[in-house]
Amino acid sequence: MSRDLFDSLDQAGFGSNVHEVAADDDCRVLRLEDGSGEGFMTMYRVFDGIYVMYDDFHLRRCVSEYQNAETVLCIDHCREGRIEHEDLFGGRYYMEAGDLRIDRRVHHEGRVELPLSHYHGISIGFLGDVAQQSLTREMPFLKTDIEALARRFCPDEKAFLLRGNEPLNVLFAQLYAVPKCVRIDYFRVKIAELLLLLSDVDTAAYAGKHQYFPASQTDKVKEIHALITGRLDKTFTVDALSQIAGMPPATLRKVFKAVYGAPIYQYIKGYKMKAAAEMLITEPITVAETAQRSGYDNASKFSAAFRDVMGVTPQIYRSRQEET
């Protein structure tokens, strides 16, 4: 592999908690270690200064030690999960499935939160003049100016969030299923397509589409999340939780959905039923006992809720697991 890409990334410095675990001519696999889990970044060199990286994280939080050593433009696509970002003023917003984030990686250091404990996506990076020279040399028909593109999407070095752009989501969906035998050539075609699509995006139409929430509110919501997931045997009302959080019920609902991606009652129900499913296959307890541990006094209501989430009754779920 050309040292242009690797040297640039080494200088940028992913940090002491990221280590290379495998590499070949066009691929580099990095492992991020953290007490709450781990993550893998599988990076492919497309051209000098241009890379495609698959991000797969199973952790609650980590500390990013990334140091940007040169001008970088990155496009991140979220396929599954959620990730929290924070601006310079402490406001937070959340990337969810289908979101595209464009930024210069200027403010990438610090604590990173994954509210659902997992995140899967793709990052495409362009490293300064090296990337521009590669595009000019390898794709002379493409008149994209990377620096001009960065200025358009990231004025004042702020990040830009694209939500619900169907052509770009289709493009990234194709990148998640690339045949190995044509991988690098396929990346090259798709990067050209990506740059052309981005050049046609009306940035004004997406401005202000994502909401920022004060850190004080999201921290309170995380405390509420810890409470309800730590006491599965209890049933909490939104009114009771709002008093504990010290915020109006409407605000609690709004911020909770922003952080965890679902209305609070729906999230609690799903979380409880998945925990119940685990109990059913790991503990010698009855369905009625599982219902009580899940905060249901009525086994029939529990079975109906379980079927809504898991697709089958608790009895059928347990019997199928025992057969496998």
Instruction: State the residue range of the domain holding 39.
Output: 3-206
pLDDT confidence band for 11 (50 / 70 / 90): very low
Clarify whether residues 170 and 275 are in a common domain: no
**pLDDT (0 to 100) of residue 6:** 47
2 vs 27, higher pLDDT? 27
| CATH (domain of 98) | 2.60.120.10
With vertex at residue 120, the alpha carbon angle to CA 118 and CA 198, rounded to the nearest 5 degrees, is 140
Clarify whether residues 191 and 246 are in a common domain: no
The pLDDT tens digits for 65-77 are: 665 555 689 999 9
Clarify whether residues 183 and 280 are in a common domain: no
Sheet harboring 18-23: ordered strands across?
A: 18-23, 27-34, 37-47, 50-58, 119-127, 72-81, 99-103, 160-163
Clarify whether residues 236 and 303 are in a common domain: yes
Residue closest to 167 by CA, chosen among 140, 202, 134 = 202
Taking the model in full, what pTM does it have? 0.86
Clarify whether residues 25 and 159 are in a common domain: yes
| CB of 119 closer than 8 Å to CB of 79 | no
Clarify whether residues 179 and 219 are in a common domain: no
Clarify whether residues 162 and 133 are in a common domain: yes
* Domain end marker among 185, 206, 227: 206
- Using only C-alpha atoms, what is the Rg of the chain? 23
Amino acid type, 278: E
DSSP classification of residue 73: E
Tell me the mean pLDDT in the region 283-290.
94
Clarify whether residues 141 and 247 are in a common domain: no
* Domain end marker among 157, 181, 206: 206
Mean residue pLDDT of the chain comes to 89
Is the per-residue pLDDT at 289 higher than 70? yes
**pLDDT (0 to 100) of residue 16:** 77
Clarify whether residues 93 and 229 are in a common domain: no
| CATH (domain of 288) | 1.10.10.60
Kindly give the residue spans of alpha helices, DSSP state H, lying in 44-199: 128-138, 146-153, 166-175, 183-199
* Domain end marker among 186, 206, 226: 206
Clarify whether residues 186 and 108 are in a common domain: yes
Clarify whether residues 125 and 247 are in a common domain: no
The pLDDT tens digits for 112-149 are: 899 999 999 999 999 989 999 999 999 999 999 999 99
**pLDDT (0 to 100) of residue 118:** 94
Clarify whether residues 178 and 263 are in a common domain: no
The pLDDT tens digits for 232-275 are: 999 999 999 999 999 999 999 999 999 999 999 999 999 999 99
Task: Give the Cα separation of 93 and 90 in Å (integer).
Answer: 10
Count of structural domains, the chain: 2
**pLDDT (0 to 100) of residue 209:** 64
- CA atoms within 13 Å, Cβ hemisphere of 263: 6
The pLDDT tens digits for 184-240 are: 999 999 999 999 999 999 988 877 666 789 999 999 999 999 999 999 999 999 999
**pLDDT (0 to 100) of residue 66:** 63
